[in-house]
Amino acid sequence: MILASLVPESSLREYYAGRMIPERKTRKIYVRGLPIGGDAPIAVQSMAATQTRDVPATLRQVRIIEAAGADLIRIAVDSKEDVACLAEIRSQTEALLSVDLQESYRLVTDVAPHVDKIRYNPGHLHHHEKSRPIADKVAFIAETAGEHGCAIRIGVNAGSVAPEYKERFGDDHVGAIVQCAVDHCDLLDEVSFRDYLVSIKDSDPRLVIQANQRFAAERPDVPIHLGVTEAGMPPDGIIKTRIAFEQLLSRGIGDTIRVSLTVPFDDKGSEIVVGRSILADIEAGRFRSVPPNFFDGLNIIACPSCSRVENERFIELAAEVKEMTQYAKEHDLTIAVMGCRVNGPGETDDADLGLWCGPTRVNLKRGPEDAGSFSYDDVLAALQAELDALIGQRAS
Ligand code: SF4
């Protein structure tokens, strides 16, 4: 397991109970028996990366993450078959479970009976039943979650901003995502739903810091889930996460954390280990200096993987992309490597070059444009050709 040497020897929960991290002003909510917010210990969570329909593999993964010290574990559900498997998984573990509704808000009726927390992304609510007001959809999610005793995470992602906020805020990206989060808190308040928290994530820690500070100033009462999404592979993924967490947690912002790292499936517990070690360091006042010029040059972002990955080769590919592109590390370019067809196409749009992985093919993109589909063996050469062309264009 990576970074095992960073695990502090002292006991975890008691040690991290917020003694050195400033007192947080948020209210306390409950995810089943787990308190989050206020004076509760900062909860640490992760996500299973196995195919949910492979119940034994997913249960094994849940146990790995749980054994690493997770307070909460997310599982992806995309189909009726996944829902049936979720029920089976629920019956075999006591771990607190969470599910992301992705584009189908009505999925809440299928999953709420089996989980403890529901995450919805305000940027995905417009996809279905376009004529139904967003407030109605949120009320429906809240009512169903409430019936089953589930908490809710309003999960705003800078890569999938709701269209009305994009239009209204134009280039003020941070303004758009913060206002969206604030408005959705209001929607849940209007239906008297109380056990909710908010996350505002991006792959750039600087944006995560800015947006969460602004949100905390607007809604100091609402518990916050912190994370840098698509942080990528260690060590850079850990450095990006640490930059954001140090700045926010030391200001009393953040009630639960998720470290997202692109690591092999069996190593998913390392997200928890890293999260806890970052908490311990901040608690003890051990801040790491940001490596010089960390934000200059080539930026590789990669998703942490989840059950939607259709070919585990994705993890290897992300590492190969990093290695192959080292020759271009002085160039200010972003390359995104995403594990699936669900979020991959959208989340690569903002990168200079993007790859999203299917079962046997990898789709290459040049900004939002398609640049072809390749086998896992051939895509690196195609990426290199695109990269060379881009560097050549910028030089001319
Ligand atoms: S991009 Fe796809 S595979 Fe990667 S974490 Fe997101 S949903 Fe999962």
| CATH code where residue 190 lies | 3.20.20.20
Is residue 291 included in any domain, yes or no? no
Identify whether residues 152 and 275 lie together within a single domain: yes
- Each residue's pLDDT, cut to its tens digit, for the chain (396 residues) gives 333 333 343 444 444 444 568 888 899 999 999 999 999 999 999 999 999 999 999 999 999 999 999 999 999 998 899 999 999 999 999 999 999 998 899 999 999 999 999 999 999 999 999 999 999 999 999 999 999 999 999 999 998 899 999 999 999 999 999 999 999 999 999 999 999 999 999 999 999 999 999 999 999 999 999 999 999 999 999 999 999 999 999 999 999 999 999 999 889 999 999 999 999 999 988 888 888 889 999 999 999 988 889 898 999 999 999 999 999 999 999 999 999 998 899 889 989 999 999 999 999 999 999 999 999 999 999 999 999 999 999 888
Quick check: is 145 in a domain?
yes
- Residue 263 within a domain: yes
Q: 10 lies in a domain?
A: no
Q: Are residues 268 and 330 in the same domain?
A: no
State if residue 201 touches ligand 1 by the CB under 6 angstroms criterion: no
- Going by C-beta distance under 8 Å and a sequence separation of 6 or more, which residues neighbour residue 223? 26, 27, 28, 29, 36, 37, 38, 197, 198, 255, 256
- 343 Cβ inside 6 Å of ligand 1: yes
Q: What is the pLDDT of residue 339?
A: 94
Look up the domain containing 308 and give its range. 299-395
Is 354 found in the same domain as 382?
Answer: yes
- Helices (H), ranges, the chain: 12-15, 55-67, 80-92, 108-111, 134-147, 163-169, 173-190, 205-218, 236-249, 269-283, 313-324, 344-347, 379-395
What integer pLDDT is reported at residue 20 of this predicted model? 64
Are residue 230 and residue 314 in the same domain, yes or no? no
* Percent helix / strand / coil, the chain, rounded to 5: 40, 20, 40
Instruction: Report the C-alpha gap between 380 and 374 in whole angstroms.
Output: 9
**Where is the domain boundary, 283, 307, 342?**
283
90 found inside a domain = yes
d(CA 183, ligand 1 centre) in Å: 26
Q: What is the pLDDT of residue 52?
A: 93
The CATH number of whichever domain residue 320 belongs to comes to: 3.30.413.10
* Ligand 1 mean position, distance from CA 341 (Å): 8
Q: Is 350 within 8 Å of 362 (Cβ atoms)?
A: no
What is the rounded distance in angstroms from the CA atom of residue 123 to the CA atom of residue 105? 11
Residues 170 and 254 in one domain: yes
Q: Are strands 369-375 and 361-366 parallel, antiparallel or unpaired?
A: antiparallel
- Domain boundary residue among 253, 283, 313? 283
CB count within 10 Å of CB 392 equals 9
Number of domain units in the chain? 2
The pLDDT assigned to 202 comes to 95
Residue 105 · residue 141 · CB < 8 Å: yes
Task: Kindly state whether residue 13 falls inside one of the protein's structural domains.
Answer: no
Note whether 210 and 166 are same-domain residues. Answer: yes
Q: How far apart are CA 72 and CA 257, in angstroms?
A: 10
Same domain, 314 and 370: yes
Structure token pair of residue 34: 């787990």
Same domain, yes or no, for 257 and 313? no
Q: Are residues 183 and 329 in the same domain?
A: no
Q: Are residues 159 and 263 in the same domain?
A: yes
- Does ligand 1 come within 6 angstroms of the Cβ of 227? no
How confident is the model at residue 160, as a pLDDT?
87
> What local confidence, expressed as pLDDT, does residue 78 receive?
87
Same domain, 311 and 279: no
201, 228 Cβ separation under 8 angstroms: yes
43 is a domain residue: yes
Name which residue sits closest to atom 7 of ligand 1, judged by CA: 343
Any domain includes 292: no
306 lines ligand 1 (CB under 6 A): yes
Domain boundary among 258, 283, 308: 283
For the CA of 303, the nearest atom of ligand 1:
4
Residues 220 and 304 in one domain: no
In terms of Cβ atoms closer than 10 Å to its own Cβ (0-12, 13-18, 19+), residue 331 is middle
Cβ 250 vs Cβ 18: under 8 Å: no
